[in-house]
Amino acid sequence: MILSVSNIDKAFNDVPVLRDVSFHIEDHEKAAIVGINGAGKTTLLRIVMGEVSQDSGTVTVSRDKTIGYLSQHDAVSGDNTIYDELLLVKQDILDLEYRMRSLEMQMKNASGGDLEQLMSTYAALTHAYESANGYAYKSELTGVLKGLGFAEEEFTRHVSSLSGGQKTRVALGKLLLTKPDLIILDEPTNHLDMSSVTWLETYLSNYRGAVIIVSHDRYFLDRIATKIIELDNAKATVFTGSYSDYAAKKEILRTAQYNAYMKQQQEIRHQEEVIGKLRSFNREKSVKRAESREKKLEKLELLEKPAEVRADMHLRLTPRYESGNDVLHAEDLSKSFGGITLFRGLGFDIKKGEHVAIIGDNGTGKTTILKMLNGLLAPDTGLIRLGANVEIGYYDQEQHVLHMDKTLFEEISDDYPTLTNTEIRSALAAFLFTGEDAFKQISALSGGERGRVSLAKLMLSEANFLILDEPTNHLDIVSKEILEDALNAYTGTVLYVSHDRYFINRTASRILALNRGTLTNYLGNYEYYLEKRDEQLALSDAADTAAASAARDTTHADGAKQDWRAQKEQQAAQRKKENERIRCEERIEALEKRNGEIDTLMASPEICTDVARLQELSQERAANDSELTELYEKWELLSE
């Protein structure tokens, strides 16, 4: 065991945030802490790290175990280059290198016993250098930087010139390279694009140490976590299995708890009615019987009402009227900034009722496309045409559609002057803004609160074509699920940009992948996109291999052609290797998921008494572990 958290209590201004919270983390375990915004997740992490003191309870870290922690807002500073900043983590290896070079110089001029002593010291240093992975630290450092989305030409950029998100990525890279026994990450995917998140998933899944993650990225959690620690109403509940397993179990538990609570409430009301009736008889025996029942009621251990979080926020998206079948036509769009061309010749159509997601890495121009469609940015070339009766509702990730100097009430009333005060209050209450909240300034709200105001305006717009830019940013998991349900029930048309793969998988019927200035169309959700993308990669590999083979058969090609062939063969081999690595990752994920299912099955009451079934499951898990060992080694080789 690496970490033990026992009976932690914490309150702020007499309001309990954590109450009797207990859990433990074993070696190599991957755990996620989940809960709505304000549930105390970050507070709990800060208590574990000793940054905040608990009111009671203990946090125990096993002797000789190290912990690495990255908070939501951690970032590097200083004037080092990105590469040199990460190189600081490898200072022990650099010191060994320096000592080895120094000894090499001394050995040139030494002889006899001095040489023997120097050689002995040099052998010990070489062994330490090799044990510290000294011969591969440069490739490891480069791999982490590229995995986190830094191009090689950016390695020499100075940290002081980076954005806040880029500085956080550098801090994350430094933490990963330190390789502590336990990594603790608070919202690590906030500043990563899809490729980087996928890389981080694989890195953490195969990490030899333990991991604790706080994240609202459900797809990310599903790929990594084998234990879920839920914070709800200041209490912690531990679930084994993936995030999907937890969500299913949670729904069952919530229903059972609610039914038990309602049954007890019904019984209490019944007893109170009987007591009232007995007292009304006004006879000695009936009064005594009433008192007896009252004593029983007083001793009754009352059940807490389960938090009905999904019932608190109400989002209903209803178009005022239907659009025509052709909602949007975009043709030959191009856009450049400062001599850098984002895309050229883009074209696509959106039909009524479609839910289309635009995906791609950071900086490819996804938000730019949405801004052009909304008339906020003019294309350099091209045509954008809306269909008949199309009315746009726009959700902006930067909340530019909100006015920072207005109150929430003014924000709604100014945009919808026909609404009565009661209607405005009701709309705000549907998004958890009640009482004096209505008169808060937009500038004083958190990111998540501003997101809820934007959703309220979106609902009131009654638009039939929603254009959404990163709608799940700043939303907690529950709010995301409410938005997903609302979009799935929405009869209008939706076009959005998102990095949230779980959200895309649940709400998209078509995906437009933006890569290197071109859009590729996929008729399905995110899982379908992954499947078809891998098929296209395989076909591309086959075509490149065939082209390389044909080039080898050409005997009279000149030197330039030979160089071209060699380059193509190298590219094909690299793509083949990359595909092999992707297939290896997918197999690892499948086996680890199956092992989690097996563990759950073996712990279930109906299986744990069935010796034959237990033996069968145990053999299957052993075979999976054996294959996983081979796959981990294979993945490491392919990732070098």
Same domain, 472 and 370: yes
Reported as a single tens digit per residue, the pLDDT across 471-497 is: 888 787 878 888 898 999 999 999 999
Reported as a single tens digit per residue, the pLDDT across 71-130 is: 877 778 888 999 999 999 999 999 999 999 998 888 888 888 888 888 889 889 989 988
| Listed range (519-528, 545-554, 574-583) with the worst mean pLDDT | 545-554
Angle between helices 112-131 and 91-109 (to 10 degrees): 160
- Closest Cα to residue 456, out of 494, 399, 513? 399
By the 10 Å C-beta count (0-12 exposed, 13-18 middle, 19+ buried), 438 is classed as buried
Same domain, 210 and 274: no
pTM of the model: 0.67
> If phi over 0 gives left and psi between -120 and 50 gives alpha, with beta otherwise, what is residue 619?
alpha
Contact status, residue 25 vs residue 1, Cβ threshold 8 Å: yes
Specify the DSSP class assigned to residue 462.
T
The pLDDT of residue 175? 94
Task: Report the CATH number that the domain containing residue 612 is assigned in CATH.
Answer: 1.10.287
Contact status, residue 200 vs residue 148, Cβ threshold 8 Å: yes
With pLDDT > 90 as the criterion, what percentage of the chain qualifies?
A: 44
With pLDDT > 70 as the criterion, what percentage of the chain qualifies?
A: 91
Sign of CA dihedral 84, 90, 91, 93: negative
**Three-state SS annotation for 84-123:** HHHHHHHHHHHHHHHHHHHHHHHHHHCCHHHHHHHHHHHH
Q: What is the mean pLDDT of residues 616-636?
A: 76
The domain boundary, picked from 218, 241, 264, lies at 241
Q: Which of 289-303, 533-547, 604-618 has the highest mean pLDDT?
A: 289-303
Same domain, 343 and 421: yes
Specify the DSSP class assigned to residue 324.
-
Reported as a single tens digit per residue, the pLDDT across 216-269 is: 888 999 999 999 999 988 999 999 999 999 988 988 887 888 888 889 999 999
Torsion of CA 231, 187, 164, 362, to 10 degrees: -140
Same domain, 357 and 470: yes
Residue 282 belongs to what domain range?
A: 246-307
Does residue 547 register a pLDDT over 70?
Answer: no
Assigned domain for 220 exists:
yes
Does residue 61 register a pLDDT over 50?
Answer: yes
The pLDDT of residue 361? 84
Same domain, 574 and 511: no
Same domain, 62 and 84: no
Total domain count for the chain?
Answer: 5
C-alpha 471/C-alpha 506 separation (Å) is 14
* Residue 157 banded pLDDT, cuts 50, 70, 90: very high
Residue found by looking up tokens 């019932």 in the block:
311
What's the Rg (C-alpha) of the chain?
Answer: 30
Q: Which of 188-202, 233-247, 396-410, 585-599 has the highest mean pLDDT?
A: 233-247
The pLDDT of residue 34? 93
Same domain, 236 and 250: no
Reported as a single tens digit per residue, the pLDDT across 318-365 is: 999 999 999 999 999 999 988 888 999 999 999 999 999 999 888 889
Q: What is the mean pLDDT of residues 605-619?
A: 71
- 3-class DSSP state of 182: strand
Assigned domain for 320 exists:
no
Specify the DSSP class assigned to residue 239.
E
Same domain, 112 and 57: no
The pLDDT of residue 558? 54
| Listed range (1-15, 77-91, 240-254, 539-553) with the worst mean pLDDT | 539-553
Contact status, residue 397 vs residue 326, Cβ threshold 8 Å: no
The domain boundary, picked from 194, 222, 241, lies at 241
Same domain, 584 and 479: no
Residue that wins the pLDDT comparison between 628 and 510: 510
Give me the residues paired with residue 385 across strands: 329
Residue that wins the pLDDT comparison between 572 and 359: 359
Q: What is the mean pLDDT of residues 23-44?
A: 91
Same domain, 274 and 233: no
Same domain, 214 and 289: no
- Closest Cα to residue 212, out of 336, 347, 67, 317? 67
* Residue 373 banded pLDDT, cuts 50, 70, 90: very high
Contact status, residue 37 vs residue 217, Cβ threshold 8 Å: no
Q: What is the mean pLDDT of residues 286-299?
A: 88
Specify the DSSP class assigned to residue 63.
T
Assigned domain for 374 exists:
yes
The pLDDT of residue 242? 92
Residue that wins the pLDDT comparison between 137 and 560: 137
Reported as a single tens digit per residue, the pLDDT across 169-227 is: 999 999 999 999 999 999 898 888 888 888 999 999 999 999 999 998 889 999 999 99
Same domain, 45 and 129: no
The amino acid at residue 158 is H
- Number of Cβ within 10 Å of residue 411's Cβ equals 24
Q: Which residues contact 244 (CB under 8 A, 6 or more apart)?
A: 222
